Chain A
Amino acid sequence: MAKDRALLEVKGLRVAVAGNEILKGVDLTIRDGEVHAIMGPNGSGKSTLAQVLAGHPAYEVLGGSATYDGKDLLDLDPEERAREGVFLAFQYPVEIRGITNSYFLRSALNAIRRTKGEPELDPLDFLQVLERKLKTIGWDDAMMNRPVNEGFSGGEKKRNEILQLAVLEPRLAILDETDSGLDIDALKTVAQAVNQLRGPNRSFLIVTHYQRLLNYIKPDVVHVLADGRIVKTGGPELALELEAKGYDWLRDGAMVS
């Protein structure tokens, strides 16, 4: 692995959904181990960026590129991206009837292991991996034998996304509004788990509307997305500035620039 090469390099990315152009030329470079935050007002295209990087079929790429680990990311199916180490923690995790969390997660992990040429895990082996991961993030296995996200509270659903992140061990984890709908205790729990999972071989792209998550997960870089473009990039202090001043000053700035 070339040390200097970016893990993800997005250039001039333009994306439409249902005929409306949402992303109007996004540039973004994330290196190994970095934590980037993307902030922005509602409708700025934050979630679109998260979803399109994960390969959601509803989004149409109009132009630009996204190179991940030297590969054309946009050319890969969602499952291929996942197997290459891209993970999206959903803003609205989906309920899967009849499939337990544990069965689901083992199927996913085995799909990834097959790609890497590693042997599949049987239920017992998987349980050991799971126990180890749960220990890392300090959680119990209460959610594992329930159907995926079914009847979960908002907080449980978000925690479940982070648990999947822990087990699937991605190189690029995209967190789409993971903080939305969480009370402060749940937010801390999730943030602590994410911090445990940070490392030199794992990068994060944290999409959030609010600054408060960034009190607990300290980003290396903060971007502001407004009207489909990144209008400002800075360090962690930018998040605080946004919290104090809101987004309007930037939106105006973007329009004149």
Chain B
Amino acid sequence: MAHVDQLVGSYRAWASNGASGAPDWLKDLREGGIARFHDLGFPNMKQEAWRFTSVAPIAEGSFELAQPPARVPTLDDIRPFLLLEAGYRLVFVDGFYQPSLSTPFFDDVQSLAHVVSHRQDLVRAHLGKYAATQDRPFSALNTAFVSDGAFVHVPAKASIPEPIQLLFLASDAKPVVAHPRNLVVVEREARASIVETYAALGDHTYWTNAVTEIVLADGARLDHHRVQRESSRAYHVASTQSHQGRDSKLNLHFVAFGGALARHDIGAVMAGPGGTLILNGLYLLAGQQHADHHTTIDHAADHCESHEYFNGVLDDKSRGVFTGRIVVRPGAQKTDSKQTNNNLLLSANAHADSQPQLEIYADDVKCTHGSTVGPLDPRALFYLRSRGVGEGEARRLLTYGFAAEILGRMDIAPLRAQLDAIVRGRLAEQ
């Protein structure tokens, strides 16, 4: 409890000082968040949703609330983390918006802190409406500290041609915690693509506690890519929550390379009929990394289609956890839901847990799921070798295929190529 109290204390100090100028509704939101966090405390492994992941290193660690960076990085410093050249870009360091590194677009691609005052009604209508805090202590804590993050708004029928980049960097500093809060609103029949990246300028210990809320109105389409490349000593806890309207199309891509400990809760609500959703994720782990993806797809309306594909490549003593919960609500007839989770174990000491959880309350639905955990398929290895490919290359090729299968579903070719290069680099090290 000591650490919970410390965080609550740090909230009190912050709320009465730096954050006291916020509008009342935002103050109320924060108060609700800290009260919830205080009640819930940190999760423990006796809780079903946390069976395989201990957050003790976070709960027992000491993290100060991040301050604005002493030195703002240069464009050259951040260039290695930009996955695309063109397009609007919002850059944050230790959670703080960096105007000198960013290329915003009026009040539509902007820092949340700015639009909280400039587009208050729009922000208020959505912020905190999708990321539940009831049973999610980390989201509650993030909500308590809501102050800055990325805001993307795509007006009705608008289309933003180039992907928007959201970059969250940890500077090389003492152990701090940042709580970035992002809000993406894609209005009716609008279209956009986003790349949300978490990375570090050094290889230090810190804690990122991020929440991203995504809302798609009727007929909207969003391709959202989330790239987690935190430092190998970092703790990354995040929640991505989406809410889709009628006939909307959401492709959520996730790539997780980094962090000592990473937990990502992904929740997708299909609230209008005819929506389609793709959750497409890859985790590539080595050393003692631990990554936990906890996904929930909520089919709340009829005639929706969801496809979920997660692949894990686990080397050394790493551990991957995948939970795929699919809820089909009463009345969500003609739901078509498909889930696969394939885990490749490259070492005898690597470990994967895969658990599908299907809760189906409608009778005219199609739901399939499958998961695998194991080493490289010896039949595939022989097949490649029988074609002249040497054993080492055959292993690399098959391993790469696990990653390439996921990357291949991304539509933006230059982004795919960048991620492909990162994957190849990682596999070459192993």
Contacts and interface: CB of A to CB of B under 8 A. Distances in A.
A57 interface: yes
Given A94-B383, A96-B380, A99-B397, A79 B402 contact: no
A164 B387 contact: yes
8 closest pairs, A vs B, by CB?
A98-B401, A98-B405, A82-B388, A108-B387, A98-B404, A78-B385, A94-B383, A111-B388
Given A93-B383, A96-B384, A147-B405, A111 B390 contact: yes
Interface in B242-284: none
Interface string B383-418: 111111111011001101111111010000000000
B361 interface: no
A88 interface: yes
B408 A98 contact: yes
Contacts of A115: 388
Q: Chain B's interface: helix, strand, loop or mixed, by majority?
A: helix
A3 interface: no
B39 interface: no
A94 B380 contact: yes
Contacts of A94: 377, 379-380, 382-383
Interface in A57-115: 57, 77-79, 81-83, 87-88, 90, 93-99, 104-105, 107-109, 111-112, 115
A104 B408 CA distance: 15
A135 interface: no
A90 B406 CA distance: 27
B149 to A, nearest CB: 34
Contact of A79 (B388, B397, B400, B405): B388
A90 B383 contact: yes
A78 B401 contact: no
Contact of B387 (A82, A97, A147): A82
Interface of A: 54-57, 77-79, 81-83, 87-88, 90, 93-99, 104-105, 107-109, 111-112, 115, 147, 164, 168
Contact of B382 (A56, A95, A99, A108): A56
B342 interface: yes
Nearest to A109: B388
Given A79-B391, A96-B380, A55 B397 contact: no
Contact of A97 (B378, B383, B405): B405
Interface in B18-44: none
Given A96-B401, A97-B401, A78 B386 contact: yes
A134 to B, nearest CB: 18
A88 B386 CA distance: 7
18 contacts: A54-B386, A56-B386, A57-B382, A77-B391, A79-B390, A82-B387, A94-B382, A97-B402, A97-B405, A98-B402, A98-B403, A99-B401, A99-B404, A104-B384, A105-B387, A107-B397, A111-B389, A147-B405
A247 to B, nearest CB: 29
Given A98-B404, A99-B397, A99-B401, A79 B383 contact: no
A78 B378 CA distance: 13
Contacts of A111: 387-390, 393
Contacts of A83: 388
A242 B26 CA distance: 86
